[in-house]
Amino acid sequence: MTEPTKRAWATIDLEALCKNLALVGTYCPESKIFPVIKSNAYGHGMEQVARAMSASQTEVSGFAVATLQEAVELHGLGYGRPILLLNGYINETELRLCLDKSIEPVVHANYQLEIANKVLSDDVFSGTHKFWVKMNSGMNRLGMTGEEASQGFLQLHTYPNTELVLMSHLAFADDMGNPASRAFTDKQMEGFLGLRKQLQKDCDETVETSMAASAGILSLPETHLNYVRPGVMLYGSSPLAKMAGGEVGLHPVMTLSSRLISISDVPAGESIGYNATYVCEKDTRVGTVSIGYGDGYPRSAVNGTPVLVKTQTRTLRTQLIGRVSMDMITIDLSGIEDAQIDDEVILWGAGLSSDEVSKYANTISYELFCKITQRVHYVYV
């Protein structure tokens, strides 16, 4: 049976991924790297991304995911790396599953400590168990107070064959040029490092720590500590508020593409698409592209959102005109006389930063990547 022509596809550049991973190693030569591959590796494909990074020249000490389902799936792939479960567990069954598969859960609440105390007291699990105890240093999303984290850490420390990491998460690391952000981050670090110091005294041993994700890796060397958790930077997007990925040496990993399926000439004064959100000021050559919000392209993208059109001889930048539909967008082909049906249109990626596109859609690259739907075909190179 003949396969249909791909109408929308995402090209995943695994070499670019590994270059971005290497950049993490350059920034954090003394830290162990736990790449974050939650949400299907930010929409890039967890299995393929984990395989590529496992085989890269940059040492990967483990992987981090958000959900237990992701952790179990990753464990089943057999890459042999530790798996950090960022959201932790909510009952005994989940914790027992973590311990059975050597998944390392985050402990971020007192109820989880109660569960851990009950399960670990049974003493039925062989080998070493590892927990990451999370302090709420100011983000107020997950984590225990300093006092609670201290008590929980010391409780878990009493169990044999149990390794512990103290962790937290930065709330404002993306904007260190802002004095308020800097002050908030300094306060977070002061509380976190203060707790580490006290725990080292109480435990009479070194306490390993983790604070930095992508933004901290790029802008705050003092947050690198023992473990770093790079996320969006691995996929070529900048976590920093005022710099795009290319400006910090990152390479785009995902290029989202589609095809021209219609070209028409629309007279001045006529409107394009639903609700007449764009009215042609002059006679306009309009291209219809076979991608829409049903594929994950953001409906919030406004008139003027950039795209690239690849003709047989050149690649030209143009823009969205008219509202995004479920299956189609319309773009301005004025001045691109050589554009033809079936020409490739790049929505973001190589030559067009997702960081730039996301601003036109009032969102962030993270969301662009994660919202790609199953209608989009993936190509790994």
Q: List, in order, residues 6 or more apart from 214 with CB less than 8 Å away.
A: 230, 231, 232, 233, 234, 239
Mean pLDDT of all residues belonging to the chain = 96
Alpha-carbon distances of 169 from 31, 281, 318, rounded to whole Å: 16, 49, 39
Q: Residue 240: its pLDDT value, please?
A: 92
Q: Of 193, 210, 238, which one is at a domain's C-terminal end?
A: 238
SS (H, E, C) 201-212: HHHCCCCEEECC
Q: Which of 238, 270, 304 is the last residue of a domain?
A: 238
pLDDT in tens, 204-257: 999 999 999 999 999 999 999 999 999 999 999 999 988 889 999 999 999 999
Round to whole Å and give the CA distance between 156 and 134.
13
Check 111, 187, 197, 274 and give the catalytic one. 274
166, 302: one domain? no
Look at residue 372 and tell me whether its pLDDT is greater than 70: yes
* Residue-level pLDDT at 128: 87
Closest CA to 291 of 256, 319, 255, 333: 256
* pLDDT value at residue 125: 67
> How far is it, in rounded angstroms, from Cα 93 to Cα 266?
62
62 located within any domain: yes
> What CATH number is attached to the domain comprising 363?
2.40.37.10
Examine the domain organization and report whether 92 and 175 are in the same domain: yes
Of 109, 93, 197, 139, the residue nearest 131 (C-alpha): 109
Domain holding 292, by residue range, is 254-380
- State whether 234 and 264 are in the same domain: no
Predicted local distance difference test score (pLDDT) of residue 2:
54
In the residue annotation, 79 being an active-site residue is answered as no
Q: Which of 19, 27, 38, 42 is catalytic?
A: 38
In this prediction, residue 79 carries a pLDDT of 92
In a domain, 74, yes or no: yes
Which one-letter DSSP state was computed for residue 58? S
For residues 180 and 185, give the distance between their C-alpha atoms in angstroms, rounded to a whole number. 9
Residues 87, 160: one domain?
A: yes
Residue 313 and residue 166 share a domain: no
pLDDT of residue 124: 65
Residue of 368, 363, 335 whose CA lies nearest to 349: 368
The answer to whether residue 371 scores a pLDDT higher than 70 is yes
Report which residue type is found at 315. T
Q: Domain tally for the chain? A: 2
pLDDT in tens, 314-350: 999 999 999 999 999 999 999 999 999 999 999 999 9
78 lies in a domain?
A: yes
Average pLDDT, integer, range 9-14: 98
pLDDT of residue 123: 67
Rounded distance between C-alpha atoms, residue 358 and residue 154, angstroms? 44
> Is there a catalytic annotation at residue 293?
no
Judgement on whether residues 37 and 143 belong to the same structural domain of the protein: yes
pLDDT at position 65, please?
99
Report yes or no on 9 lying in a domain: no
Could you tell me if 353 and 224 lie in one domain?
no
Query: 299: pLDDT confidence band, cut at 50, 70 and 90?
Result: very high
Q: What is the pLDDT of residue 121?
A: 86
Report the distance separating Cα 319 and Cα 306, nearest Å: 4
Q: What is the CATH number of the domain that holds 139?
A: 3.20.20.10
pLDDT tens digits, one per residue of 72-85:
999 999 999 999 99
* Residue 248 lies inside a defined structural domain of this protein: no
pLDDT beyond 80 at 278: yes
The model's pTM is 0.95
pLDDT digits 0-9 by tens, 102-150: 999 999 999 999 999 999 987 666 678 999 999 999 999 999 999 999 9
Q: d(Cα 64, Cα 103) in Å, to the nearest integer?
A: 10
